[in-house]
Amino acid sequence: MKKNILLTLLAALLLSACGEYNKVLKSTDYEYKYEAAKNYFAKGQYNRSATLLNELIVILKGTDKAEESLYMLGMCYYNQHDYQTAAQTFIQYYNVYPRGIFTELARFHAGKALYLDTPEPRLDQSGTYSAIQQLQLFMEYFPLSTKKEEAQEMIFKLQDKLVMKEYQSAKLYYNLGNYLGNNYLSCVITAQNALKDYPYTNLREDLSILILRAKYEMALNSVLDKRADRYRETLDEYYSFKNEFPESKYLKEADRIFKASEEVLRDEPVTN
C-alpha cells in the first residue's frame, strides 16, 4: 500500500515538473525563460536547459544574457558528453565574444571537449590534432591561467597518443618485412620521424630498437654490393642505441644483432 502511495506521489511530481516545463516552453516572457534555463542547468537538467538556451541566444542577442546563455549552452552539451557540439559552441562563443566574461573558460573547454572526444591510437587522429591546436591556443591567449598546467598535461597525453599511432605504424611496417617492397625502410623512416617530432616520448626506447631491428633486417636481406654498408649502418645504430639506453630491456637482443653484424663484416670484408 505504501509503495503504491509513493509511486502515485512520484508520478504527480513528474507530471507537475513536465507541466511546469511545458509552461516555460510556451511562455513569451524571455526573462522568465532565462531564469528557468539557469535553474534547470543548476539542477543538472541539461537537456531542458539547452532547449531553452538555443532559443534565448537568438532572442537575447546583443545582451549580457545572450553571452551567458551561449556559454551555458556549451556547458550543457559538455556535461551531456556531446563533446563535438560542446567544442563547436565554445568556439562560437569566443569568436563572437573574444573579450567576453567566459572567453578563458570557453577556450579551455573547447580544447578539453575535443581532448575527451579523441579516438584510440589505431584510428584516424585528426581530432587529436584539433584538440592540441585548441589547447595550444588557450595557453597562448591565457599564459597565466590557473588551468594552464591541466591544459599542458592534456597536450602531453595527446602527443603520446600520436606517438603510439606512429609506433604502431612502424611495427606494422616491420612485421610486413619485404612483402610487396622494402617495408623495413618504411619502418625506419616512420620511427625516425616520430623521434624527431616527439623527442621526449616515453616510447623512445621502443622506437629506437625498432630502427635497429629494421636496419639489421635490411642488411640481412641486402644485395651483395650494399651488404657491408648496411651492416655498418646497423653497427652505428647499435652504438647509438647502447649509448642512449645502457640498461635497456632490449640490450640482449641489441647485443646479438651487434655480434652477428660484426661477424659478417669480419668474415666478408668490403672489396674496393
Q: What is the pLDDT of residues 188-247, one digit of tens each?
A: 999 999 999 999 999 999 999 999 999 999 999 888 888 899 999 999 999 999 999 999
Among all chains, which residue has been given the C-alpha cell 578563458?
A: 104
Instruction: Give me the sign of the Cα torsion angle 109, 114, 117, 119.
Output: negative
Q: Note if the pTM is more than 0.85.
A: no
Rounded-to-integer distance, Cα 238 and Cα 244, Å: 10
pLDDT at 17: 54
pLDDT at 18: 65
pLDDT at 269: 56
Distances (CA, A) of 113 to 28, 139, 143, 187: 33, 15, 20, 33
Report the chain's terminal Cα–Cα distance, integer Å.
102
Give residue 112's identity as a one-letter amino acid code. Answer: K
Residue 259 C-alpha cell reads as 655480434
Segments in the chain below pLDDT 70: 1-18, 268-272
Choose among 171, 99, 162, 172: nearest CA to 128: 162
pLDDT at 73: 98
Give exposure, 29-58, as e/b (b: 16+ Cβ within 10 Å).
Answer: ebeebbebbbebbeeebbebbbbbbeebbe
Instruction: Give me the sign of the Cα torsion angle 208, 211, 215, 216.
Output: positive
